[in-house]
Amino acid sequence: MSCFTLEHLVDGGRGRLSRRLVTPGLGLWTLGLALVGAGMLVAGARMASAAGQTVTVKMQDTPPRFLPEKLRIKVGDTIEWVNDAGTIHSVTDDPQNAQRAADVSAPAGAALFNSGFMPPGAKFSYTFTMPGHYKYVCVPHEQDDMIGEVDVTK
């Protein structure tokens, strides 16, 4: 198994599966292993950076809100904020960007995020590598309570 390569699967480079390998028994077992292996190769690049899922949070205009406003995710998960509304929005948990410090929070040691102004159609992603409670605002709509919260568990 350890010396198995994809070349064993392909018949002389013609792209057909080797008849020897698809015979019942060991052949099918080997094919199954090969498919699992190929899947792992595809997933490899993603696993190198983050093993988590990507969750989408949409931005809405009337009233200005994050949808959903509250989320529970796991360490390694990514949130992708999507401005599919008609005006500019943003996301940041940096107190330097917030009007009220209490509107944002992040666990100690977490890298703060700030999308900057996101025009309609823009997307912004952040991968949460520190567990804890996060609160973030949309800078143009903080006064309208466009505030989101994320609980990140291990």
Nearer Cβ to Cu ion, position 9 or 147?
A: 147
Q: Does 65 bind Cu ion (CB under 5 A)?
A: no
Closest residue by Cα to residue 148 from 126, 119, 122, 120 = 126
| 35 contact partners, CB below 8 Å, separation of at least 6 | none
Q: Does 148 bind Cu ion (CB under 5 A)?
A: no
> Residue 55 in contact with residue 77, Cβ under 8 Å?
yes
Q: Does 146 bind Cu ion (CB under 5 A)?
A: yes
Closest contact distance (angstroms) between CB of 105 and Cu ion is 18
Cα separation, 110 vs 106, whole angstroms: 6
Residue ranges with strand state E in the chain: 54-60, 65-67, 70-74, 78-82, 123-127, 132-137, 147-153
Closest contact distance (angstroms) between CB of 17 and Cu ion is 53
Closest contact distance (angstroms) between CB of 112 and Cu ion is 18
Among 57, 82, 83, 89, binds Cu ion (CB under 5 A): 89
Q: Please work out the total of residues on this chain that contact Cu ion, with binding judged by CB under 5 A.
A: 5
Helix runs in the chain, H state only: 26-49
Nearer Cβ to Cu ion, position 9 or 89?
A: 89
Q: Does 138 bind Cu ion (CB under 5 A)?
A: yes
Which residues of the shown chain bind Cu ion in the complex (CB under 5 A)?
A: 64, 89, 138, 141, 146
